[in-house]
Structure 1
Amino acid sequence: MAIPDPSLLVMDVSYSIFRSLMMRLQEDNAWRVVAENFKIFRPVDIWEFAHCTSQSPSEKLIFELHERGCTVGHLCIVLRQCQLFEALSLLTQPERLEITVHPGDGTDGDILVTLDGELNLKCEATGLPPPKYQWYHENEELFEQTSNTLVIQNFSFDEEGLYYCCVTQDGDPPTEVFTSSVNAKIRPEPPIIWKEPRAQEVCRVGSDVIFTCEASAHPPPHYQWFRDNTPLSGQNNYRLTIQGVTQSDQGEYKCSVENEAGEVFSRLSELVIYEEPEDGDNDTYRYTASEKVALLIGNDVYENMGRLNTPSNDVISVATILHQIGFKVIALHNLTLTEMRNAIKEFCNLLSRGVYGVFYFVGHGFEISGDKFMLPVDAPDPTRYLRRDSLCERELIYKAQKKNPQLLLVLLDMCLKTPDQESNPIIHKEKALMYPWVPRRNLLIGYATTNNLSAYEVDTEENGVYATHLQRHLADDLPVEEVMKRVRSSIESENSSASKQQIPCAFVTVARRFRLTDPIRGDPDVAKAYERITTVSVDTTQIAFENIRKFANMTCMPHRGWLHNSLDINLTGLESFNVKFLVMCQNLKLCAERHNGDLLLTVFNLQKTKMPVVITIELCDPRDQVNSILMDNSMLDLHYPLISSADLWRPIILDTDHSELWDDSIEDVSPDYDNFMIDLES
C-alpha cells in the first residue's frame, strides 16, 4: 500500500487507505480523541459528529477536516500526539522497531518482590507499525500477557525466575526483538517466631524433655539452640529433644533463628530437674510443683431448682485455705453450662506437666449409670433435665488429663442421687457422651457423698458439711490421699444427723506422696495467664465530679475477696448525696448498700458481659426525694475486669472428638441500660 503525500488533503488519499483509516478511528471512539486534539471543534460539533445519520462519526470528522484544508501531514502530527499509531502507520513511512525501556531498567540486580505482593514489569518500544508485546517466564509464553506492562499479583514462590518480553512489528518481513531478561525473586523476610518454647520445663532425672521453637521466614531459616548462651553442637532443628536428662542439663535454653534477612532469638526457657528419692517414695521426701492452680465453682441460685444456701460461702472458704498454701485460685459462682465449660477451658490452660491442679464444685448434682454430673444454674427442672444439660465429671477429667498435670485433685460437693425414673424417664434412655480419659497415676477424686445419697447443708451453719471438714484438713502437711482420709473420718466422727446421712468416698490413682503444701518453683506463663483473668485494671482510684468539685475515693476487689465473676467497688466521700448507678449491659446486675457512710456497689455476672464494663455514677440532690435532681455525674471505665476478659459467655460447639470450638456465628444481643439507685436514707 503506497504511502500518501503529506501535502494531500485528507480526503484525497486512496480509497483503501481512507477505508482503513475510518476503521481505525472508529475503534474505541478514537475519532473523538482526534477531534478534541485539533481544538477547532466545539462540543456541539463533536455531538453532531456522534449523532450524524448519513455518515459514521469518523467519516464526518475527516470530511470536516478536509473542508478546513487539513493535510495528511497535519493529521499525522495529531495522530502521533494522540498515540494512535495504528492509524498513523497508514499515512506515514515505516519506522524501525526499537526498544527504549527494558524490564528492570533502573534496578541493580534482581527484582525483589514481597511474598503475596505485586510484580510490575514494563517494556517500551517505538516503531511503525506499532510494536506488539508478548511476555515470557522461564521461556514459557504467558497467556494473555500482551500489553507493554506485566502485572502479577499475589506473587508466589512458583513465579520466581527469569522474565523477558518479545516485541514484534508487522511488516514484510515482520521484525522481532527480545528485551533483556530480569530475575524476579521473593524478597527475603526476616524470621518471625510464632511458637515460642515454654518459659519453664520441669522434669525428673532420666525423663525426656522437648523444646520447640517455630518461625516463618524466607528463605527458610537456620536454627541453633543454646544452653546458658553456649551453642549446642548439632542442634539445628526447630525442635530440641534431650533424652534421659541429668542434672548437668539444667539451665536456660534459647534458640537462634537466622536467615540472610536477619536473626531473632526465642525467649529463654528454664529447664528445672528434680530427683526421685533413691529408696523410692518415703515420708520425708518433698516434691516441688511448677505451679499450683485451682478452679472453684459454687452454684446456689438455680433458675429451675431449689436455691442452696452455702455454695458461695463454701467456695470462699476453700479458696481462702488453698490460697494460704500457695494456690492460684479462680473462684466463680452461679455459672451456666456454657460458662462452666469455658471456665474449665481456662483452668486447663493453666495446667501442664509439673502443675498441681485442684477443681472444686459445690451445687446440685446427680449420678446415673456410674457417671457423676454437675448441674449448672440454667439446667431444666428435675423432671426434664438430661445428661446433656449438665457437666459430666468424665468431661472435666478428660480435658484436664490431656495436659498431664503432676497432680489432679477433683472435689465434688454435691448429691449423687439417681434421677427418679418415673418423673424423668427420658434421662434413663438418653445416650451419654463418652469421655475416654487416659488413666494416669496423678488423680484423686473426692466425693462429698456416695451412690444414691445426698450431700447436706445445715440452715444454721455458714458452710455445707463437706466444705466444713475440707477447711479443717486441706492445709494439713500430709500426702493428699491422707488428707482426704482425714476429711472422711472427720465427717464420720461428727455427731449430727446430716453427717450421719452423708458418706464421703474417693477414687484414687495417685502413686506418689504429693502434698497440697508442697513448694512451688513458679511458672511465668501460668502466672501471666492467671493474672489476666483475676485482676482489675482501672485508670484511677479517684473519681472526679467536676461540676460540683467533688472527689470520691474508690477501691475494687473480687466480691467478698474471692469471687472473680463479681466485683465489689467501695466508694467513700459520697455520704451527702443520693447516688444512682447505670451500666450499659443488660446481663450485669448491680447491688448497692451503705456501710457507715461508705457505698459498696457490687457488680454481678461479669462472665456474661460482651463489652467493657463502664458505670455511670449520678449524684442527685438528697433534699428532693421525688424528682431526683441530677447535680453531677462521672464515668467509671473498668475495662474487662476479672473473669470478664475470658469470654465465658461464648457458645461452645462440642465436636465429635470432644474438641471444643467457639461458635462465632452467635451475634451479641443489643445492650440495654441496667440501673440501680440508692438514696441517703437507704
Structure 2
Amino acid sequence: MGDWNLGLGTLREGVLSKLADLLDNPKCGWRQLADAVNEQPRFRCSEKELMSCSLQVLSAKGSPSRLLLAMLADRACSLGFLLQCLKKMEHREAVQFLTATVMEQIRITVQPQSQRVPEGGRVVLSCQASGPLGLGYQWFKGKEEVLNGSTPELVLSPVTVNQQGYYICRVHQGENFVFSQWAQVCVARSDSSSAGSSSGFMLSSVSGLRITQQPRHMAIAEGDTLCLECRAEGNPPPQYQWYHNKQPLLPANKPTLKIPCVTTADRGQYSCRVYNLYHEVWSDQVHVEIGPGFDCGDSWVENTEGFTLMASRQLSQFYATDKVALLMGNMNYQHHRQLRAPMADVHELTNLLRQLDFKVVSLLDLNRQEMHSAVTEFLLLLDRGVYGLLYFAGHGYENYGNSFMVPIDAPASYTSEHCLWVQDVLQRMQERETGLNVFLLDMCRKRNLNDDIIPQPGPLKVTANIVFGYATCVDAEAYEVNKDDLSNGIFISFLKQRLMEDEKVTVMLDRVAEDMGQCEITRGRQALELRSNLSERRALTDRIQSSDCPAATSARNLQWAIAHVLPESRYLQFECGVKVQLGFAAEFSNIMIIYTRILEQPRDIVSCCAQLSDFSEGVDVDLKLTNQESPRDAGSLLFTFDAAARPELPSLYTRLRALQRLQKELTFTVCLHYQYSSMDEEVQEKQMVSVGKPLVAKLNLYQPRLPRSFSASSSSDLHTFSLPESSSFPEGLQSSIPASETSSLGSASTCWSYYSPPGEVHGSARHVNVPEETFSPEFLERDAPQPLSAESKSLPHAHLEDLSFQFHTKQNFHSC
C-alpha cells in the first residue's frame, strides 16, 4: 500500500501495536502526538479522552498510545497526517517505521556510472529503480537541477566542457524518495594541451555518503572517559556533528567523540549526523549508561521493545517494583494566614506523576490526625524496591536540621508536638526497604522561636536512596505567585517544566535550581536546596518491573484503589415523569463534585431542576455554593464543563470537601423543583440517596492509628493480608482477585486499609462503586455533554520573567 490518503484504520493490528510501543514513553510519545494533532480541530482530544488514555497503564496489557491511535482512526485520520505529526514531534523511529510499512520501498536497481568522453561526444547516464507505481526522476548536477532531466536516462549530446562534474538522480513517489550514487562526467578537450592535462584527471566512481563504522552502546563508570566513534566515506569528504539526547554537542565535529570524566548527566542517547555538500545520513542511536562500577567488557544486545541490555546482566536501566506518591496541600489554616498555591500545585503534580505511572493520593487541608493517618497508610503501600515520593505544600519550619509540616489545626504558637516530623517519616520509609525515597517540601524553613525542643530521631539506615528537594534554603521563606483566582508556588512553576525529563532525580532537580537562579524575580529571594545521598542513576521516569511476588503487586494495586472509588452514576425516576441523572467526579482524593441534570421531562412541565440538600453530618460543603450552574461557581477553580454541546440539558454542580472526615455513609436529598404549564405554583418531589463512602473517606483518616512496627521483615506485609468482610470493592476489581487471595488480603494493621466502623453495612447493589480512573458509560455517549476535565491555569514558566511583581508589596507574592 502506497497511498498516504488512506485512513489510519487500514493498518494491520500488528503494525498499530508496534507503533503504539514506539509511542508509549513520557518524553516523545502519545501525549506529544495528541498535542501535534490539535492543529486539526476534528482530531482534538478532550481532557476526558486523554485521561482515559493515561489510565490504560493501570491494566497489565493497556497501552495509552494504542487507545489514542484508535480514537484517531475513528475520526478518519489519514496516514499522511499521522506521518506529518510524527515528523513534527521529531520521533525518527516512528517516522521510519510508518514510512517503511505504508510506502513500498524505492530501491535503485541500476546506478549511474562515471564516464570520460571527448568534447562533443555523447553521454548517457542511466538510473533505474523499483518500487510503487508512478516513480518520478530528477537529475541534478551538483546542487542544480538539470533541465529536461525527468526520465530514467539523462542524455548529454553533444557534451561540452561546462557540463563536466558530478551528477545524481533523485527517485521519488509522493513524499518518499531516494538518491542514486554520484557519477562523475569528465570531458576531454579536443586540443593536445588540454588532452595532456586531462589525461592526468583521476576518474572515480563517487557514491553517496555511507557510514562504515557505527558507534556502539556503552556502560561505563562515573569518572571514566566516554569514547564513541563514527566513520563514513563519501565525496566530497564527510563532516560530522554529534548529538546527545537530540541536542547538538559543541564542539563535537570529529569522527571520534571523547568526553573525559563523565557524570550521570552525560548518560542517554547519542547519535552522529554525517553530511557533505549534497547529502546527509545519521548513525545508529546508541545508549550510554553511566553508573557506579559498570563492567564495560560485556556486550550489548537489543530486545524486541527497543531497550538496550547488557548480554551478561541488565545494567542499562534501573527500575522500580512500583511507584507511589502522597501529595498533601494545606491552604485553609484555622489560626494562620491562608495560602492559595497548594491547590494548583498538588493538581499540577498529580497529573504529571500519573503520566509517570505513579499511584497518586492527593489530599487538601488536613489536620494533624489526618496527616499522621495519611502518612501511615502511605507507608503501608511501600515495599522492597518501590519508589516513594512525598510532597507537601503549606506552612512549615525547620529547627536544628529537623523539618516540620504544619497541619491546618495547628495553634497560633505551635511546636513540633502539633506538626508532622519529616525525619521521622524518612526513618519509617527506610524500614520498608524502598528503592528510592523522594521528599519535595514546598514550605518555609524559618526558625520557629516557639519551639525549643530538639527531637532525637532514631538511627537512619545507611541507604543510598534518599533525595530531599527543599523549595527554599535554610532560614528562608518560600513564595507563591497570586494571579487571578489560582496560584502556583515558585517551586512548582519551575519543577513542572523539568519533572518529565528522563534524568537522574538529582540532575533534574539541579536543573530546576538553575532555572530558578536565572529568573529575575526569584534571584536572591528563593533558591532550591538539594540534599541527597543517591549514588545510583535513579529517575522518576524509570520503568516499573513487578517483584517476584505477583500476589503482593496485585494486592497493592487493589488496596490503593480503595481510596479512589467514586460512586456509580445513577438515574432517578420521579413520579411526575422526570428522569434525573446523578453523576460524580473527583477533583482530588478527598474532594468530589456531584452534578445533576434533567434527561427527560413531560411536555406539560415548563421548568424543572434537581437540587441537592440535607447532606449527612460530617461532610464539608458550603451551602452558598451548592447547586451552581458551573463547577467554577461551585468553588472549583480546576474543573471546567462545556455545556455548549447540549444547552438543552443544563447541569447543577455541588462540591464536597474534606471527605476524609466523613464518618458515616454519604447521604443527601435530591429535591426536584418543577412547574406545570397550567399552574403558577412550583411543585417539589424528593428522593433520599445514599452513595456509601467515596474516595478517601473509606480510609477513616480521622481515626488514630495503632502503633506499628516497621521492621525489615515488614516488606512481606502485603503478601499475607485479608480484606474485611464489609469491603465494598467494585465488582470488576473483586473478580480479578484470585480466590486464594481474597481470603488472605491483609488486616487493617498491615495494608492501605479499609476501616468499617460498627454499624456500617455495605455490599448492596446500590453501593457498588467504580474507580476514579474509569468513566461511566454515559460519559462516553455521543449525545452526552463533555465531562468534567482538569484545566490548568497555573503560571507558565516562560512568563515568570515577564511579571512585574514585587516581593515587598506582599500583594502578589506571599511567603508560606
- Work out which of the residue numbers 374, 379, 382 in structure 2 matches 1:343: 374
Unaligned ranges ≥5, structure 1 = 1-199, 201-274, 670-682
- Work out which of the residue numbers 645, 651, 655 in structure 2 matches 1:602: 655
* 1:415 and 1:449 in contact (8 A); partners too: yes
Secondary structure at the residue paired with 2:555? helix
Distance 1:393-1:548 versus aligned 2 partners, 3 A rule: same
Which position in structure 1 is the counterpart of 2:557? 527
Which position in structure 1 is the counterpart of 2:504? 479
The answer on 1:577 being equivalent to 2:601 is no
- Work out which of the residue numbers 405, 412, 418 in structure 2 matches 1:389: 418
Which position in structure 2 is the counterpart of 1:446? 469
* 1:610 and 1:668 in contact (8 A); partners too: no
- Separation in structure 2 between the aligned mates of residue 346 and residue 657 of structure 1, nearest angstrom: 12
- Separation in structure 1 between the aligned mates of residue 597 and residue 436 of structure 2, nearest angstrom: 44
Aligned residue runs from structure 1 range 452-471, under 5 A: 452-460=475-483, 462-471=487-496
- Separation in structure 2 between the aligned mates of residue 517 and residue 493 of structure 1, nearest angstrom: 26
Which position in structure 2 is the counterpart of 1:516? 540
- Separation in structure 1 between the aligned mates of residue 618 and residue 374 of structure 2, nearest angstrom: 21
Q: In structure 1, what residue type is equivalent to 2:462?
A: P
Q: What displacement does 1:655 show?
A: 8.4
TM-score normalized with structure 1 length: 0.51
* 1:318 and 1:471 in contact (8 A); partners too: yes
Distance 1:632-1:299 versus aligned 2 partners, 3 A rule: same
Distance 1:379-1:495 versus aligned 2 partners, 3 A rule: same
The answer on 1:558 being equivalent to 2:580 is no
- Work out which of the residue numbers 525, 536, 544 in structure 1 matches 2:572: 544
Which position in structure 1 is the counterpart of 2:668? 615
1:167-214 deviation per Cα after TM superposition (whole angstroms, max 9, x unaligned): xxxxxxxxxxxxxxxxxxxxxxxxxxxxxxxxx9xxxxxxxxxxxxxx
RMSD: 3.5
- Separation in structure 2 between the aligned mates of residue 656 and residue 554 of structure 1, nearest angstrom: 44
Secondary structure at the residue paired with 2:407? coil
- Separation in structure 1 between the aligned mates of residue 477 and residue 491 of structure 2, nearest angstrom: 11
Q: In structure 2, what residue type is equivalent to 1:521?
A: Q
* 1:456 and 1:464 in contact (8 A); partners too: yes
Unaligned ranges ≥5, structure 2 = 1-59, 61-291, 298-308, 547-552, 600-606, 631-642, 644-649, 715-747, 751-756, 760-816
Q: In structure 1, what residue type is equivalent to 2:335?
A: N
Secondary structure at the residue paired with 2:543? coil
* 2:597 and 2:609 in contact (8 A); partners too: no
* 2:445 and 2:477 in contact (8 A); partners too: yes
Which position in structure 2 is the counterpart of 1:406? 435
Q: What displacement does 1:432 show?
A: 2.8
Secondary structure at the residue paired with 1:639? coil
Distance 1:300-1:285 versus aligned 2 partners, 3 A rule: same
Q: What displacement does 1:599 show?
A: 1.2
Q: In structure 1, what residue type is equivalent to 2:333?
A: Y
* 1:548 and 1:631 in contact (8 A); partners too: no
- Separation in structure 2 between the aligned mates of residue 392 and residue 554 of structure 1, nearest angstrom: 42
How many residues get paired? 378
* 2:445 and 2:472 in contact (8 A); partners too: yes
Distance 1:307-1:499 versus aligned 2 partners, 3 A rule: farther
Distance 1:630-1:651 versus aligned 2 partners, 3 A rule: farther
1:650-670 deviation per Cα after TM superposition (whole angstroms, max 9, x unaligned): 0246689999999xxxx999x
Q: What displacement does 1:435 show?
A: 3.9
* 1:293 and 1:328 in contact (8 A); partners too: yes
- Work out which of the residue numbers 625, 631, 639 in structure 1 matches 2:692: 639
Q: What displacement does 1:352 show?
A: 0.6
- Work out which of the residue numbers 324, 345, 348 in structure 2 matches 1:314: 345
Which position in structure 2 is the counterpart of 1:326? 357
* 1:367 and 1:418 in contact (8 A); partners too: yes
1:419-467 deviation per Cα after TM superposition (whole angstroms, max 9, x unaligned): 2x3xx3xx22x35353433231111010001111000002127311001
Distance 1:551-1:405 versus aligned 2 partners, 3 A rule: same
The answer on 1:588 being equivalent to 2:620 is yes
* 1:443 and 1:510 in contact (8 A); partners too: yes
- Separation in structure 2 between the aligned mates of residue 435 and residue 622 of structure 1, nearest angstrom: 68
Q: In structure 2, what residue type is equivalent to 1:346?
A: E
Q: What displacement does 1:277 show?
A: 5.5
Q: In structure 2, what residue type is equivalent to 1:500?
A: G
Identity of aligned residues (%): 25
- Separation in structure 1 between the aligned mates of residue 467 and residue 475 of structure 2, nearest angstrom: 21
Structure with the greater alpha carbon radius of gyration? 1
Q: What displacement does 1:623 show?
A: 9.7
Aligned residue runs from structure 1 range 209-288, under 5 A: 278-279=295-296, 285-288=316-319
Q: In structure 2, what residue type is equivalent to 1:556?
A: F
* 1:303 and 1:379 in contact (8 A); partners too: yes
- Separation in structure 2 between the aligned mates of residue 476 and residue 656 of structure 1, nearest angstrom: 37
Secondary structure at the residue paired with 2:589? strand
- Separation in structure 2 between the aligned mates of residue 628 and residue 439 of structure 1, nearest angstrom: 75
Distance 1:277-1:631 versus aligned 2 partners, 3 A rule: farther
- Separation in structure 2 between the aligned mates of residue 276 and residue 322 of structure 1, nearest angstrom: 30
Q: In structure 2, what residue type is equivalent to 1:510?
A: L
- Separation in structure 1 between the aligned mates of residue 352 and residue 469 of structure 2, nearest angstrom: 17
TM-score normalized with structure 2 length: 0.43
Higher strand fraction: Structure 1 or Structure 2? 1
Which position in structure 2 is the counterpart of 1:190? none
1:599-629 deviation per Cα after TM superposition (whole angstroms, max 9, x unaligned): 12211111001111122211234799xx996
- Separation in structure 2 between the aligned mates of residue 566 and residue 600 of structure 1, nearest angstrom: 13
- Separation in structure 2 between the aligned mates of residue 657 and residue 276 of structure 1, nearest angstrom: 32
Which position in structure 1 is the counterpart of 2:263? none
Q: What displacement does 1:478 show?
A: 0.7
Aligned residue runs from structure 1 range 112-191, under 5 A: none
Distance 1:279-1:443 versus aligned 2 partners, 3 A rule: farther
Secondary structure at the residue paired with 1:458? strand
- Separation in structure 2 between the aligned mates of residue 366 and residue 302 of structure 1, nearest angstrom: 15
- Separation in structure 2 between the aligned mates of residue 417 and residue 628 of structure 1, nearest angstrom: 62
- Separation in structure 2 between the aligned mates of residue 655 and residue 350 of structure 1, nearest angstrom: 14
Secondary structure at the residue paired with 2:614? strand
The answer on 1:298 being equivalent to 2:329 is yes
Secondary structure at the residue paired with 2:376? helix
Q: In structure 2, what residue type is equivalent to 1:548?
A: C
- Separation in structure 1 between the aligned mates of residue 707 and residue 417 of structure 2, nearest angstrom: 11
* 1:394 and 1:435 in contact (8 A); partners too: no
Distance 1:554-1:579 versus aligned 2 partners, 3 A rule: closer
* 1:578 and 1:622 in contact (8 A); partners too: no
Distance 1:289-1:549 versus aligned 2 partners, 3 A rule: same
Higher relative contact order (CA 8 A, sep 6+): 2
